[in-house]
Structure 1
């Protein structure tokens, strides 16, 4: 076995059987082989090998022993190369040389280090700024700093003889009795600065930061924890108990778990509308709002509360009445105002899609359920399955009367979107000098139209900007610049998306006039009507905001719609006229037919070849005999080649 292998073997044995002991293993080697030359009064080379202190002292040649590094220790180098021992003394054996190397690599200790078995205890929480908390019930109204210990192990821990202080390595208070910390249990040390005896510690913790020091009965350090500046009455501790995750606690818990069980928000009741109320929405209050309100839910933990408002529609399923959420919103306050216009549209849109419009046969009695539950971010109050609506005071049913929404005899103004651009890179220039998206309106009628109070946006049902007193003459144009700025009309505080969205316009009473959905657009290519105000749409390579549209023949093969698309009827619900529109990707035969809910054909609107692009047709609520049809839900079917799309629409009376 060579020297290196023997050394590795001895080091391995040291891990298995313990460290090298200087007094019993190293000093005898020096005494038997080296001290004849290296002793007091006769130190060859200035090296004395008769004692530990002499071995560790430097020789004339330099440092004899470098703890932890035998290769750079002169003593090992000399015995390894045979220059020591000198005179007629025999060389050290390989085992002796390797033992010296092992002793040096282990730190060249005089006494082998003793491994202390540290008990399974940690500082779990401490408070170093006790102004209004804690311990006043123990210390005659005085508040004191504390350190909480926690036994995270499985065995009992007796801390008899342990010492404590606020300075590393020093002991000011000792536990002199058998004091047991059970597994999973806590012990509180009160740093009062008084010499009253354990568990009071004769130190005060500094909120500017210092040390929590704990040693066992033999004086071995167990914990030396340095902390920084602290805040009055805010403790710092582990969560969960005994973990490595620390956090601050506004409510210190000396002697108790830091894991505070969350309590759910407190109970509350719905206020208005009350259960079984009837809400009437008609033309007189369509622009008003309905305010839903409820009591405050108080959280016992002081957590912030949010309320989740939900509006439900009901429909007949296989298991009876079932519910769908048709609107929801999260709020910080205890009331929600919903515009009657939006409220009625939401209800009609939902009920037109379920049970073949059954609930809309009588517009004076449409059921709607509303509920609210509170949440503290962890737990909730009042959140139940929709099947439990109305059974736990978390949901009320109200009847909505929409029979007064009768638009018979009203006419939409003779105005249309004539051209728009939703991807403006280098065209066109708005009044503020920037390239901006635009929407051009055109008056195709014979009367001047005043748009004072009209609202505009890029979202159906919402208004971002309102127009002042502004007229559009017959065959006149007005350009709306969708800049996204709040500069004021004709700039609109919305930006059109080149990926497609909605152009929404409402009159001064909030009634929708135009809600036009468009698909993806191309940079600097506008889309509009040609001729102006007609039903024929095309793309323009030279947009003309505020001027007549000019047909761009070169775009005919470039911007043909890529697919057959049917747009929602507009308006819907309607009375007495709605428009059905669609895109077709190439010239072909188109069939547009209206059916009742029994599947009977009511009106054939189109049966002819049509050119590619955008097409539309109006239906005036008459049948093939030109007779007025009754109110209700109708289906329109648009066929293009082998492609068929059906949609629903609602006729009001």
Structure 2
């Protein structure tokens, strides 16, 4: 027995092998040929003496008799794929020749060569990855597959850790042509978390060999059964409208209206109105206080009081403004939040009650990510507490090379990577908890990952939300609300209670006594007396500063913007008040500087209802005078002065918290401001 690549022999008076006699011998060749297309295939033999040629056991040439070297012909119709070939030949005397040629459809004649294709008759596969998810394997189907019309047997064995599948059949399939062999069937639980359930290929055998596999990972994508609210439009006032407030209409209001959004699932719709005013100040500069948020619940209109508009503008000695406005609908519930974009973040100064060493602790927060990533970003930071070293605790989003996004955590030098995919536009409840060295991450009340870690969490670094001040480009694009920190771990039951109660609910868990910080992230908690730290901690006094982070609203459900928004309207209150009304304040006031924080210039505004001697001085936190800004008599009116971050000697001062103080007559007022460098 030997292998021949082709049947193309002229042995003359000899034989195929020295051990074979020169006359009176027989040879049988068996193998497979591969038909590229459907059609008629022509065969030609050139032999001395007889031969028989069979394709798939069908006779094609049958010339079993003695003759000199002669051509014989045959033909057969073939379908694409592998076909069995058998050729028998005998030599009875004289010369010995055996050659076999063929002509495929639309082809040219060549020697017949064996196919380099391999027929698959059996296979085994193993799958894992799905066993720990809310899904049950229910069976295998061949319908609509390559095996659907073939008589193949299928068996499987599903264990707690591996699914084994075995297939076999007499009708072979060209391995090079393999595509879909079978379908795995699953039942997804009703309470399964939306996202990816992995089905990983763990290995297998084709026929009797285990080839080098190139298998794309698969899975089940669990969709949220809920649908977003329907499309709606802004109605009135029209885009580009000018709201002119005069003495005749100052006690009236203007209705801002929009069409109704209909939820396809029949859920109730709640609306929120957003506005972003840009106010023109008397010195020609522009000032924006950030987002204004109006919760309208199910109403389709929002009334804006003319008197409120006049009060707001006149307090800034302004008469005109341009306002961007938009309306959002949700099938869930709206909550106050902070929005982070660009380098936006909130920063809380280091405090011992935010450091936990190697002991127990927990962080709970709610956030929504909107899918925005810079082209080079792979990490977006939710929370980070470290000073650039390995002592830390962090929560972050990680984007992999295939653009999948996962929630991850760092405790000390230990990295927790739950294999649970993350989806944009969903309000997640996230908990990182350590109890007796076991670190657990929870998403929406479910345990999604654990690790043993004694990593040190104590550092001199500040706690930062929405950014990592020690790693460039890890800024968050999303919303965050209701952040809490505990000096103990949280039990599974407590995490479930927090999730089920929802954000901005009363905390009612046993670990409440271990609460060390609670930032509701609600502008209503912002303390005007501490403008340098507007993100208030209502438990431990760990108030935070804001940098390009805005008070906003986030929904527990889908969010749908008005389809034709946003619109812009202008405000003009010039004719609402007399010149004296606008320019002459009724009482003394020292306003918050703007911008704040600042670098290096800020404006300090103050109101004088009557003329008098005025003294405005900048101090550091130790009470040392830094800069005398005003010292002299001034007329009544709304005043302002600019500080350029220099001292009385004209030298730049360092970054930090400074106080500015006004004294005029018996009126004395002090406020704080933050200089950044």
TM-score by length of 2: 0.24
- Structure with greater proportional helix content: 1
- TM-score, structure 1 as length reference: 0.25
